[in-house]
Amino acid sequence: MNITDENKLYFEDVLRRRFSTRRFKDTPVSMEDILRILEMGRIAPTAKNFQPQRIYVATKEADLAKLDMVTRCRYNAPLVFIICSDRGEAWVEDKKTSYEMDATIVATHMMLEATNIGIDNIWIELFDKDELKRLFNLDDNIEPIALLPMGYGTDDNRPSHLHDKRKSLEETVTFL
């Protein structure tokens, strides 16, 4: 791989630029951008390359209204990726399964690509998974993992006070 310093700096800039958006404008995200975000999720690594992720794209009013019934954290986003995983398609050995890990890696790719192309976003864990399955008629083996509301933040969109509060490396890393 021939990686220039410019490549490295650009990637770091994307990582440092990302923050959770909790106020979205109504402005829709173009299909071109939606597909680009999905494509960057598609190329994510998964255990044994089984690719169990199943992603539902909500932009219609009726579907966004359903999401509002299962979470208070859509924050008016005009686009929500419902990141799910098919338990039956994931790598399983003994009692271990990669279904959740695979889907979160895919979602991370998507979140960072959204940031890369200027689409504001947030990762949502706080939602009623059973109710979401019921409202969207998802099969039993499809497990909702995360919601990714996306769009354009309002003009006063700023990182929350938590954004800069990261633990030091000393607190989270042990050199063995």
Binding flag, residue 15, ligand FMN (CB under 6 A): no
For residue 13, what are its two tokens? 């800039």
Query: By the 8 A CB rule, do 40 and 109 touch?
Result: yes
Binding flag, residue 7, ligand FMN (CB under 6 A): no
In the three-class reduction of DSSP (H, G, I as helix; E, B as strand; rest coil), residue 85 is classed as strand
Binding flag, residue 1, ligand FMN (CB under 6 A): no
Cα–Cα distance, 131 to 129 (Å, whole number): 5
Closest approach, Cβ 5 to ligand FMN, in A, equals 25
The residues near 57 (Cβ < 8 Å, ≥ 6 apart) are 34, 38, 79, 80, 81, 82
Q: Which of residues 20-39 bind ligand FMN (CB under 6 A)?
A: 20, 22
Closest approach, Cβ 91 to ligand FMN, in A, equals 21
Tell which one of 50, 91, 123, 136 touches ligand FMN (CB under 6 A): 123
Q: Which of residues 101-120 bind ligand FMN (CB under 6 A)?
A: none
Closest approach, Cβ 122 to ligand FMN, in A, equals 6
**Count of C-beta atoms within a 10 Å radius of residue 169:** 9
Binding flag, residue 150, ligand FMN (CB under 6 A): no
Binding flag, residue 19, ligand FMN (CB under 6 A): yes
Question: Phi and psi (nearest 5°) for 26?
Answer: -75, -15
Binding flag, residue 122, ligand FMN (CB under 6 A): yes
For residue 3, what are its two tokens? 């990686």
Run of H or E including 61: helix 61-70
Burial (CB count within 10 angstroms: exposed 0-12, middle 13-18, buried 19+), residue 25: middle
* Residue sitting closest to ligand FMN (CB): 126
Binding flag, residue 160, ligand FMN (CB under 6 A): yes
Closest approach, Cβ 48 to ligand FMN, in A, equals 24
Q: Which is nearer to ligand FMN, 134 or 163 (CB)?
A: 163
Query: By the 8 A CB rule, do 138 and 152 touch?
Result: no
| Contacting positions for ligand FMN (CB under 6 A) | 19-20, 22, 73, 122-126, 159-160, 162-163
